[in-house]
Amino acid sequence: MSKKPDFRVPELNDSLEVPKVKDGTMAHSKPFISKPELNLALGYPEELIDNWQEVAINKLGDMVNNSRALRVYMDTCVKCGACTDKCHYFLGTGDKNNMPVARQDLLRSVYKRHYTLAGKYLPKLVGAEDLDEQMLDKWYTYYHQCSQCRRCSVYCPFGIDTSEVSMAARDIMQTIGKSQKYCTEIIGKVHKLGNNLGLPAPALADTLEGLEEDLLDDINVPVKLPLDVAGAEVLLVTPSADFFAEPHVDGLIGYAKVFHQAGISWTLSSHASEAANFGLFTGSMGNMQKIAIRIREAAQELGVKRIVFGECGHAWRVAYNHLDKLAGPFDFLDRRYPLPQHMVEVTHDLIEQGRLRLDRSANDAKRVTYHDSCNVARASRMGSKPGGQFSIPRDVINASCNYFYEMPRNTTKEATFCCGGGGGLLTDDLLELRVKGALPRMQALKQVNDKHHITHMAAICAICKSQFAKVLPYYGFEMDQIISLHQLVGDALVFSAEG
């Protein structure tokens, strides 16, 4: 943190406190609006169209007719208040519209006005509202203050999932020409160059070569980071941040060491050099599908037998739940393996089979805690049993280090707090929101730190890692305290002289 922030960073206390409800404390927080050419490239209007109200309302009706989730979620909220103190953005800002139900109501009130009997004739009675400029402005503001982490949906008696509502709202907005720059930019890049960072294939090859050299110097073992190798057993699809950013890259090195020691042939692909799928965040089925198809094309072209995903939260969500639906069938793969697999699952199974030599004491300088990434925790699974997404990463951590400590129970596993940067909000124009939204996680980290003097927090999501590297210093921690889970594994792997 180089300069003083122009907002107040929340203070950490002994435990998390629920703030008083305030009006509009975050009304000023909006992401940059997308540039016309970025919108055009994705097939959206360049800027806000003239008849946006009409188009938006029709689109809303269409979406409700085609999504059972949205239809049920619009109808069933009883305003019981169970979700009101569950969102990290509300806990960090106190803004009324950051309570999940209030966020949903921005869309629900318009739905009621146009698509329900009571809302048409008695709008005041049932809280129905017109879609006017002010409302659209609120949509843009507050649907970009939802990281789609699904924490509210755990606690809602009807499972109402605000992430579905915010995806729908963003989809409506992009349809009328009001998209957010960060997401359109990234989706544009992934369509064009294969990854979110816009890293062209030669640069990627160069980077990987450099990493191989460093590794050889480091441990004197010729661990490879193969790119576009036809006939490999495994295609690894990983977030592009893994290729060079700290602490991500140490995770990538961890995967490479695991594959090397287990003797599994693997490859990265320059065509699908990105696991992330921002189509999910903007609620765009079309983009989500186009991004997913890249992976299928890469797998087919390289003739691999299975697809493994690196550490990325929402990528795993999309892959686990939707890859086959969006880009299938994958009948050319070895169907004895699940489609897809998570890298943590692969490592876990290798440990169970005794195929990895791990020396926990290599990590004895570290006192580790673990941050459950929201999309892995609440929107996917690992292993064959429900909750494997919690136990499998922990098993791997415990096999790799001696000092592991949990954060408070109401902040982990299905109750985990988002890092504050998920859902397409990991951009500097939303820095205040990101810092404040990280409060619940930072508070939990402080609590475990007070007791156990934590040196590192491990995570399995590129967004979490980037977000924490940025916000940890605001709360008095060090930016390098966030690490990849596979860094722990990589550091603990023992290679004998011959490798």
Stretch that binds other proteins, among 75-83, 135-143, 205-213, 458-466 (CB under 8 A): 75-83
Strands (DSSP E) contained in 83-226 are: none
Contacts of 258 (CB under 8 A, 6+ apart): 343, 346, 347, 350, 356, 486, 489, 490, 493
Size of the site for other proteins (CB under 8 A): 90
Residues 418-477 that bind other proteins (CB under 8 A): none
- Please say whether the beta carbons of 342 and 318 come within 8 A: no
Candidates 30-38, 120-128, 294-302, 417-425: pick the segment binding other proteins (CB under 8 A). Answer: 120-128
Shortest approach of other proteins to residue 325 CB, angstroms? 7
Distances (CA, A) of 6 to 28, 470, 498: 13, 16, 55
DSSP reduced 3-state for 306: strand
Q: Which of 168, 173, 183, 379 binds other proteins (CB under 8 A)?
A: 379
Nearer to other proteins, 181 or 355 (CB): 355
Positions in 13-42 near other proteins (CB under 8 A):
18, 20-21
The correct pick among 222, 387, 476, 499 for binding other proteins (CB under 8 A) is 387
Contact between 135 and other proteins (CB under 8 A)? no
**According to the binding rule CB under 8 A, does residue 89 interact with other proteins?**
no
User: Are the beta carbons of 457 and 481 closer than 8 angstroms?
Assistant: yes
Per CB under 8 A, contacts with other proteins among 250-269 are 262, 264
Which residue in the set 414, 455, 479, 495 belongs to the binding site for other proteins (CB under 8 A)? 414
Taking CA atoms, 92 is separated from 250, 315, 348, 436, in Å, by: 31, 26, 35, 5
Show Cβ contacts of residue 217 under 8 Å, excluding neighbours closer than 6 positions: none
Q: Which is nearer to other proteins, 104 or 175 (CB)?
A: 104
Nearer to other proteins, 38 or 323 (CB): 323
CB of 438 to other proteins, least distance (A): 21
Q: Is position 95 an interface residue for other proteins (rule: CB under 8 A)?
A: no
What is d(CA 242, CA 184) in angstroms, rounded to the nearest whole number?
A: 21
- Cα 353 to Cα 258: distance, rounded to the nearest angstrom: 13
Could you say which of 330, 404, 468, 477 contacts other proteins (CB under 8 A)? 330
Distance CA 134, CA 136 (A): 5
Residue 65 in contact with other proteins, rule: CB under 8 A: yes
- Nearest Cα neighbor of 390 from 321, 341, 422, 344 is 344
Q: How far is the CB of 21 from other proteins (least distance, A)?
A: 5
Does 409 engage in binding with other proteins (CB under 8 A)? no
- What gap in Å lies between CA 50 and CA 358, rounded to an integer? 62
Q: By CB under 8 A, which span of 125-133, 199-207, 465-473, 485-493 interacts with other proteins? A: 125-133
CA–CA separation, 18 and 6 (whole Å) = 23
Q: Least CB distance from residue 375 to other proteins, whole Å?
A: 10
Cβ 346 to other proteins, closest distance in Å? 5
Q: Does 271 bind other proteins (CB under 8 A)?
A: no
The answer to whether the CB of 298 falls within 8 A of the CB of 271 is: yes
The C-alpha atoms of residue 351 and residue 346 are separated, in whole angstroms, by 9
CB of 186 to other proteins, least distance (A): 21
Interacting positions 173-232 with other proteins (CB under 8 A): none
| Residue 171 binds other proteins, judged by CB under 8 A | no
- Rule CB under 8 A: say whether 395 interacts with other proteins: no
Which of 169, 166, 165 shows the shortest CA–CA distance to 73?
165
> In sequence order, which ranges of 222-364 are alpha helices (DSSP H)?
248-262, 285-302, 313-327, 343-352
Site pattern 288..317 for other proteins (x: CB under 8 A): ------------------x-----------
- Identify whether the C-beta of residue 165 lies closer than 8 Å to the C-beta of residue 63: no
User: Who's near 259: CB < 8 A, 6+ residues apart?
Assistant: 234, 236, 265, 266
Q: Is the distance from CB of 203 to CB of 273 less than 8 angstroms? A: no
Among 155, 403, 405, 495, binds other proteins (CB under 8 A): 155
Report the residue number, 228 or 233, with the smaller CB distance to other proteins.
233
Q: Which is nearer to other proteins, 118 or 494 (CB)?
A: 118
Site residues for other proteins, 335-374, by CB under 8 A, read 335-341, 345-350, 352-353, 355
Region from 46-54, 78-86, 168-176, 489-497 binding other proteins, contact rule CB under 8 A: 78-86
CA–CA gap between residue 170 and residue 167 (Å, rounded)? 5
Interaction of residue 106 with other proteins, rule CB under 8 A: no
By CB under 8 A, tell whether 75 contacts other proteins: yes
